[in-house]
Amino acid sequence: MGSPGPGLAPRDNQVVIKDHPLNPKKLEVPGKDAFWVSKSKKELAEWFCQRNHQHGQDCFTVKFDKQNGSPFKSAVFTCDNNGTAASDEIVVEPGDTIYEYRIQALGKDDLDPGGGVQK
């Protein structure tokens, strides 16, 4: 799992998490409406913290606990000590469904992006 470097656009299956530049209580996912993973390529969704802080396992948690559930075997993903997290196996068929999820980080409001599964 390789983090997109500064200034580089993340791939469709990658989500970069940053502090909102104008509101210290908010997170943002710059330039992304939703991630897309390929079932046929057995891709994982990957989340990368690029916040200005010390990364650790309490950096962020990803929770697929919204209306459509999780497209993955698990519904919760916790970052590692490097500020990265990855999903596990895709368990739904490809389609147009957007799976809403929450990114939670200590001291921040929840961020509610989405993601989907394509062929």
The whole-number pLDDT of residue 15 equals 96
Residue 77 within any structural domain of the chain = yes
- Residue 96 sits in a domain whose CATH number is 2.60.40
The whole-number pLDDT of residue 19 equals 95
Within a domain: 115: yes
What is the pLDDT at residue 95? Answer: 96
Q: Is 7 part of a structural domain of the chain? A: no
pLDDT at 8: 64
The string over 51-66, giving b where at least 16 C-beta atoms fall within 10 Å of a residue's C-beta and e elsewhere, is beeebeeebbbbebee
What is the mean pLDDT of each successive set of 10 residues along the chain, which is 119 residues long?
A: 66 95 94 91 96 87 94 97 96 96 96 95
CA distance readout (Å), 28 to 15, 41, 64, 89, 109: 10, 28, 17, 26, 10
Q: Could you give the number of structural domains in the chain?
A: 1
Q: Which residues, other chains included, contact 95 with Cβ-Cβ below 8 Å and sequence gap of 6+?
A: 116, 117
Boundaries of domain holding 36: 13-119
Tell me, yes or no, whether 8 lies in a domain. no
CA-nearest of 112, 111, 75 to 90 is: 75
The pLDDT value given to residue 5: 61
Query: What local confidence, expressed as pLDDT, does residue 58 receive?
Result: 83
